[in-house]
Every structure is written in structure tokens, then in C-alpha cells.
Structure 1
Amino acid sequence: MFKHSQLESVKAWLVDPTQASLPRHARIQRAVRQLILDGALGPGRPLPASRTLARSLGVSRDTVETAYAQLHAEGFIERRVGSGSYVAEMNEFFSGPRLSRRDALSRNQTPNLSARGEAMFHGGGVREHLSPRPFAPGVPETRSFPIQLWERLERQVLKESGTRALVHGDPQGAEPLRRAIADYVNLERGGRATADRVVVLTSSQQALTLCANLLLDPGDRILIEDPAYYGARKAFDAAGLDCVPVRVDGQGMMVERLRDDPRPAKAVFLTPSHQFPTGATLTLDRRLCLIDWAAKHQAWIIEDDYDSEFHYAGKPTACVQGLDPHDRTLYIGTFTKSLFPSLRIGYVVLPPSLVTPMTVARTLLDGHTASIPQLTLARFMDGGHFGAHVRAMRAVYAQRLDILAGLVRTHLSTFVEPRVPIGGLQLSCVLKDGLSERATIDAARRVGVELLGLSGLHASDGGQPGFLMGFAAYDPAELETAVRKLAGALRA
């Protein structure tokens, strides 16, 4: 028979809400199995008769019989005709003391990670808002996306491809999409791309991780903007790289300082179209200076062009990759910002020598990108729908940026100075003297407003305190409501 504590343990499994999805016989089976694994029921120990245990637990005898049958099938108990059920004899590999379930859980809370694992864990990862609210940055408008058109194109893909679309895809990416991406980069961004130089990935974050691990060794120096995109810094930190900050001014990264560094770096990362988070655009002379430096030192340029589609003043400058005759630039783009986040398609345009190594490396991560969304996106682009959607959203976002800038000047001028960008999906605000960034962000969160602090994006303590305000995903009424809430919170 069970001891009282053992019976209570089985009852606890029956009422545990985390086990509610399991049928009763499975909960009983797992409870008894855990008692055996913990050593609370030793080898040869008799189990209660099914009728007796059923009565104690308030379940049917068939329920207990089903649980016992599963335990017998798994080798945890023996069933002897006319005698009853007993805990099976365990072999030498399962003898000796065992951790209790509580001890096991306790140990799992402090895992023994590798140095790289510790860096990844303590870096906190890159987490996006599942249900974004103003002013979460980097979130596009999805409510007006032409989803019926997308569904129609997807049905066409399934009809024409049939079951061929259900098998493994090319790890470099579907050829129709690579061709469409190359055409887009050449036409709209002034790039030098061909389909065989494009690798389709799940995100720009995956591209950054691959670049960090494929091109550099732990301890190698990489130059990054200061302030910088947090996802890039975390990817490089996790790879064990030595991130060297280079200041950003109104003309982008101050690349002139690269020439004065006595210890050349092996790579440089930057967001030249709309610097994150300042919104500055890297000037042409600095782009050319950067290309010359990379060629001289045989260094790589990692160019993240993540929201270059949304430029609100004049024609955007050509991407660095298109100006680089030495093939030292890796150009990263994504459709997460231009279309919708759950699409999970990004890409990188590579120097020819890196295409095969990068393709092989990505097979160690996720094998390939889902084929059906790739082929649907290719049709979306080839049919001119991507360009039309971007143009429509560019007009919407430009209007929302103007509205938000006006609201900030009207309701928040006492507290902040807005820095209105010429592109991108977020507006940066610098706090005026005496105001705490942490207190401001906490006050905003209490009234349901999300702000991303600027200080944490700087490598040093020299950055001005402030915050980013994403505006793309929120209509004018939502923007006004959120600004008024924020103003009230700060006044309080």
C-alpha cells in the first residue's frame, strides 16, 4: 500500500492545473512513475490494488488499470497473476540515490552554460512585443496589409507547385525570390546584386549571427556605431567579439576615426540609410572613405539596410554595397519591417566568395526558409504589389511622423526635445536637463505606454538620456491618446 504522503502526491498530480490537458489515467501513471524515479517506491515494492487505489483517488477502476498497464509496458512495474503489481527491479544504471523532482527543478534553474551560452543568456536576447502598444519601435502597420491578395497568391503557389512546395527547400533560398530580391536591390537601392549572390534567411538577426560566427573569431575586433542597434551588439557579444564603438554625429558614423586606429578591426557594422537610433544618414564622402578603409585592411563591411524603404525627404542615398567595387560589403535586408513581422523572411547579398560558406553555415541553424511564403513573396514582388504597398505605407508613415512630432512639441516640450528623422519607423526624443530616463520609462509603462531608452544603446555613459517613440503601427488617434497619457504621467 501507499504511504499517506505517497497517496497525497498522486492526488496532487490529479488536481495540478499544469497537467489539466492530460487524461486522468495519464496523470496517475506519471505520478506513480515519478515516485519510482525519485526512489520513494523502491524495487519490489507492492502497489495498491487497482480497486483500492481507485477508491482512494475517487476515479474508476478502469482509469487505474489503464495507468498500471502503461507503467507495465514501460517497464516500471511487474504484474503477477494472482499476486498484484510490484515496482520492477532496476538495473545497475538506475540504482542508487535519485534527485527529487524539486531538487531537479532547482538544479535546472542554474544551468552550467558555456562561455558563449552565458553571453547569450545574460545578454537577454532580442524580444519583440507580441501585442505592441504605442510607442513600441520598429513595428509596421499590419491592419491595412492586403491580406486577401496575399491569400490569393498563396493559393496560386499551392495550385501550381502542389506537393513540391511541401518538401525541403534550397538552403540558399527559392530562386524566384532570390531573383526578385536582386532586382529590387539593384533598382531601388542602387545595389550590385544577382540572384546567385542572395541568400534568403529568416531575419536580419539571423544574418547578423551568421556574419559574427562565420567571418570572425572570438576576440576579434568589430567596429560598431555608438549608439548602435541592440540586436547587432547582442549578436556580436554572444559570439565573443570585441565590439569597438565609433561615435555617430549628424552625418552618421564618424568613419574618419577608423584611419587613426592603430589596431585595424576585421569588420565594421553600421546602419547607413537611417542610423539606429539617431536616424542620421551616412554621407557619400564617408561611405567612400569606409569602402577605401575596408579594401586597404581587407575588412568586411556589414551593412544593415533594415528600413531603407521608408525615406520621407528626397531620394535615398545608394547603399554602400552598390558603391563598393572591392566586394567587401555584406548587405542585409528584411521584409519584417516593410511587410509584416510574422513573415520571417530576410536576406543577405554577399560577395561571391561568401555565398557557399554562408549557405552551408545556415544549414546548421534551420536548414532553409519555408518554401510557400518565399514563393508567395516572389509573386507579390513580381506583380508590383510590394512596390505599391511600400509606396502607400511611406505616405502613411510620413503623415504619422508629422503628427507625432507635432504632438510631442505641443504636449511634451517641457520635458523633451524631439529629433525628427528623414526616414525610419521611430522618432527619438532627448530628455531635458534633470529628468531621469529610467523614471520616465517607468512612469510611461504605468499608463500603458512603451518607450525604448536611448542610454542602453550607447557603449559608454556619454549618451544623452532619452527614448525612442515608434509611430508606424499606430493611427493618429492612438498617437494622440498615448502622447496625452505620457504627458500626464510626466507631469505627475
Structure 2
Amino acid sequence: MFKHSQLESVKAWLAHPAHAAMPLHARIQRAIRQLIVDGALGPGKPLPASRALAKSLGVSRDTIEAAYAQLHAEGFIDRRVGSGSFVAEITEFTPGHRLSQRDALARNQAPNLSKRGNGMFRSGGVREMLIPRPFAHGVPETRTFPLPLWERLERQVRKEVGAQALHHGDPQGTEPLRCAIADYVNLERGARATADRVLVLTSSQQAMSLCANMLLDPGDRIFIEDPAYYGARKAFDAAGLECVPIRVDRQGIVVEQIRAEPRKAKAVFLTPSHQFPTGATLALDRRLTLIEWAARHQAWIIEDDYDSEFHYAGKPTACVQGLDPHDRTIYIGTFTKSLFPGLRIGYVVLPPQLVKPMTVARTLLDGHTAPMAQLTLARFMEGGHFGAHVRTMRGIYAERLDVLVSLVNKHLSDFVEPRVPIGGLQMPCLLTGNLTERAAIDAARRVGIELLGLSALHASGEAGAGFLMGFAAYTRAEIEVAVKKLANALRAISKSP
């Protein structure tokens, strides 16, 4: 018969909520197996008779017999006719092996990762809120997305393509979507793209990781905006690159600092249309200077055009890629901001010589993007629905930005100075009072408000304290409630000793 502690261990397995979905015999089998693996039941030890164990656990004898049969099939127990069931003698396994102090310490220490693995783990990754709350940045409005239209187009695709959409897809992306993307970026962003230069990916983050690992070696230098998008810096750090921060002013990245830098870099990372997080637009003369610099030094320009669809004052400036006659620019785009994050479709427009290497490398990561989603998106774009949706959302976002600016000036003027952007999905605010950035962010979080601090986005120590306030995903009423809640929270901590 089991000892009292062993029987209680089995009962605990049966009662644990995490195991509730398992059949009863499977729970008993797993519990006994764990006792054997842990050494609580040593080799040769007898197991209780099925009738006795069934009575102790309050289950049927058939349930115990099913559990024992599975343990026997897996080799954990031997069953002897007329003698009962016994823990098997497993020669290559020592159950209950007691860890030495050294082994125990090793088990509790960090895993033995590669240098690149350690870099990725230490970065903390890039995590997005599953259910965003004000004022999470970079989140589009999804509640008004035309789902019935999308579902109708998806049904059309299923009817016309059939089971073909269930197979592996082209790792470069389906041709209809690549054609639609090329047409779109040529028309709306002034790019120089053809379908055969487009690589469809899951996200802009994947594109940056591909660039970091395919174009540069560990230890190579890359110029990066300061402040910069945290996802880019983490991707480059994880790849073992040396990120060299270059100051950003009201006209974008300061190109003279790049030209004056005595040590060479193999690439520069930019968000030229709408710099993250300042909102600055890179001036034309600086764009042209960068293009010539890249050509002269055989360096790469990695252009992240993450939310250029949403420009609220005049037309957005053409992308750098469209101005580059030397094919040194890699243009990154995404539908995460313009449509919805769950779509998981991004893309790159590549120089011709990079298409095949990047596509092959992509097959080692995730193979391909789901064909059904690609074909539905292609149809959405071809039918003019994408352009119509962007225009609608541009108007909604502009109104929400105006509401946010008005409410910040009314309720938060004692604490922050808003820097009103000409585009994008978030507004930077600089702290003007005595509050620290950390205190403001923590106070906001305690009342259910999410803010991204600006200081962490700067590599240098010259950052002005402040935070980003996303506005696109929140209604006028939600923005008003959240601003007032934030004002009360900041007022409370400003008065505390």
C-alpha cells in the first residue's frame, strides 16, 4: 500500500485545477509516474492492488486498471500475474537522484545560452498590451474596422482558391499581395518598387531582425537615431551590433554627425517620415546627403516607415527609398498600424541583390506568412478598401489628436508641455514641473493608465523627461476620462511630501 504522503500526493494531483481537463485515469497515471520519476517509489517497489487504491481514492477499479495499463505500456511498471504491479527496474535511469549542491546551484542559475541568445533574453523582448488601455502608444482603432467586408472577401478567396490556400505558401509572399504592395508604396510613398522586390513578412520587427543578422556581423557598427524606437535598438543589440546614437533635432537625424564620425558604420537606421518618438520629419537635404553617404561607403539605409499613412498636415514626404538611385535603401512597412495588429503582415522592399538571400533566410525563421490572410489583404487593397479605410481613420485620428491636445492643455498644463505631432498615433509630452518621469508613470499605472517614458528611448543622458500618449485607439469620451484621471493622479503625488 502507498505511504500516507504518497497517497496524499496522488490525491493532490486529482484535485489540482490545472489537471481538471484530463480524464481521471490519466491524472492518476501521471501522479504515480511522477512519484516514480522523483524516486518516491523506487525500483521493485510494489504498487497497491487496484481494488485497494480505488477504494482509497474513491474511484472505480476500472479507472485504476486503466492508469496501471498506461504505466505498464510506458515501461514504468511491471505487472506480474498473481503477484501484482511493481515499479520497473530502469537501468539507464536513476529515479530520485539527489542533486549535489553544485548541480542544484546550476539548475537555479540562468540557462547556458549563446551570446546572441543572452542578448535576446536580456533585452526583455518587445511586448505589446493584449487589451490596450489609454494611453498605450502605437495602437490603431480596431472597433470600427469593417469586419463584415473583410469576412466577405475572405469567403471569396476560400471559394476561388479552395484547398490551395491550406498548403505552404511562397516564402517571398503571394504574388497578388506583392503586386498590391508595390503599387501602393509607389503611388502613396513615392517608392521605386516592383512585385519581385517585395518580401512579405509577419512584422516590421522581423524585418529589422533579418537586416541585423543578414547584413551585419557581431561587433559591426550601425548608426541609430537618438532617441530611437526601442524595438529596433533591441533587435540590433541582440544581434551583437554596436549601436552608435546620432542626435535628432526638429529636422530629423543630424546627418553632419554621421559624416563627421571617424569610424565607419555599415548601416544607419531611420524613421524619416515620422521620427519615433519626436515626430520630426527628415529634411530633404539630409535625405539626399544620407543617400550619397551610403553609396560612398557601401553602407545600408534601413528605413522604417511605420505609420506614414497617418499624416494630418499636408501630404507626407516621399520615402528615402524612392530617392535612392544606388539601391542601398531597405524600406520596411507594416499593416499593424494601418489595419489591425492581429493581421501580422509586414513587408520590405529590397534592393534586387538582397531579395534571394533575405527570402532564403526567412525560410529558416517561420517559412512563410499565412496565404489566406495575404490573399484577403490583396483583395482588400485591390478593391480600394485599404485606401478608403486609411482616409477614414486619418480623419478620426486627427479629431482625437485635437481632443487630446485640448484636454492636456486644460487639465495637465501644470505638469506637461505637449509637442503636437503632424502625424502618427501618439503625442510626446515633456514634464515641466517637479515630478520625475518614473513617479508620473507609476502614478498613472496605479489608476489604470499606460504611459511610455521618453528617457528610456534615449541612449545619451540628455533626454528631457516626459512620456508618449497614444490617442488613436480611444474615443473622445475615453480620452477625456483618462486625462482627468491622470491629472488627479499627478496632482496627488505632486502634493505629497
Tell me which interval the TM-score lies in, with the shorter structure as reference length.
Answer: over 0.9
Q: Which residue of 1 aligns with 2:188?
A: 188
CA distance in 2 between partners of 1:355 and 1:437 (Å): 43
Partner of 1:219: 219
SS in 1 for 2:417: strand
Equivalent positions of 1:346-425 (< 5 A) are 346-425=346-425
Tell me how far 1:104 sits from its aligned partner: 8.7
What's the counterpart of residue 485 of structure 1? 485
Residue 12 (structure 2) aligns with: 12
Q: Shift of residue 43 of structure 1?
A: 1.6
Q: Which amino acid aligns with 2:247?
A: R
Equivalence map 1:94-243=2 (5 Å)? 94-95=93-94, 98=97, 107=107, 110-243=110-243
1:57-103 CA distance string (max 9 Å, x none): 12221111111011011111111111111111112x21365368xx9
> After superposition, what is the alpha-carbon deviation per residue over 1:110-160, rounded to whole angstroms, capped at 9, x for unaligned?
322222122111211000010101000000001111100000000000000
Q: 1:457-484, CA deviations, whole angstroms, 9 ceiling, x for partnerless residues?
A: 0002210010000000001111111000
2:275 matches 1:290:
no
Name the TM-score, length of structure 2 as normaliser.
Answer: 0.96
**Please, which runs of 5 or more residues in structure 1 have no aligned partner?**
none
Q: Which residue of 2 aligns with 1:453?
A: 453
Which shifted more, 69-78 or 104-113?
A: 104-113
State the one-letter code of the partner of 1:376: T
In structure 2, give the amino acid aligned to 1:261: E
Counterparts of 1:133 and 1:295, CA distance in 2: 44
Distance in 2 separating the partners of 1:20 and 1:234: 40
The range that moved more, 25-34 or 146-155, is 25-34
What is aligned with 2:474?
474
Q: Residues of 2 paired with 1:464 and 1:482: CA distance? A: 23
What are the residue-to-residue correspondences of 1:313-332 with 2, within 5 Å? Answer: 313-332=313-332
CA contact 1:38–1:99 (8 Å) conserved in 2: no
SS at match of 1:12: helix
* Residue type of the alignment partner of 1:466: G
Paired residue for 1:311?
311
Provide the aligned length of Structure 1 versus Structure 2: 489
- Give, in whole Å, the separation in 2 of the partners of 1:43 and 1:480: 68
Tell me whether 1:342 sits opposite 2:342 in the alignment: yes
CA distance, structure 1, for counterparts of residue 14 and residue 255 of structure 2? 65
Match of residue 269 from structure 2: 269
1:433 Cα offset (Å) = 4.2
Q: CA deviation at 1:38?
A: 1.5
Q: Does 1:74 align with 2:69?
A: no
8 Å contact kept, 2:37–2:96 = no
Q: Distance in 2 between matches of 1:57 and 1:225?
A: 65
Q: Secondary structure in 1 aligned to 2:339?
A: coil
SS at 2:243 equivalent:
strand
1:326 is aligned with what amino acid?
Answer: H
Whole-Å separation in 1 of the counterparts to 2:446 and 2:88 = 57
Tell me the secondary structure at the aligned position of residue 199 of structure 2. strand
The change in CA–CA distance for 1:105 and 1:25 in structure 2 (over 3 A counts) is farther
With normalisation by structure 1, the TM-score equals 0.97
Correspondence 1:426-465 to 2 at 5 A: 426-465=426-465
Q: Deviations over 1:178-224 (max 9, x none)?
A: 00000001000000000000000000000011111011111110010
AA of the residue aligned to 2:232: A
- 1:375 offset after TM fit, Å? 0.1
Q: Deviations over 1:225-281 (max 9, x none)?
A: 000000000111111110000000000110111111111100000100100000000
Contact 1:37 1:98 in 2 (8 A): no
What stretches of structure 2 of length at least 5 have no aligned partner?
Answer: 493-497
Matched AA of 2:54: A
Shift of 1:434: 2.2
Q: Distance in 1 between matches of 2:278 and 2:448?
A: 25
Q: Distance in 1 between matches of 2:4 and 2:110?
A: 32
RMSD: 1.4
Q: 3-state DSSP class of the match of 1:62?
A: helix
State the alpha-carbon separation in 2 of the partners of residues 105 and 157 from structure 1. Answer: 56
SS class of match (1:137): coil
- Per the alignment, residue 495 of structure 2 pairs with none
Identity, in percent, stands at 79
Shift of 1:22: 1.2
* Contact 1:54–1:61 under 8 Å retained in 2: yes
Residue by residue over 1:272-331, the C-alpha shift from the partner in whole angstroms, topping out at 9 and shown as x without a partner, is 010000000001000001101101110000000010000110111110000000000000
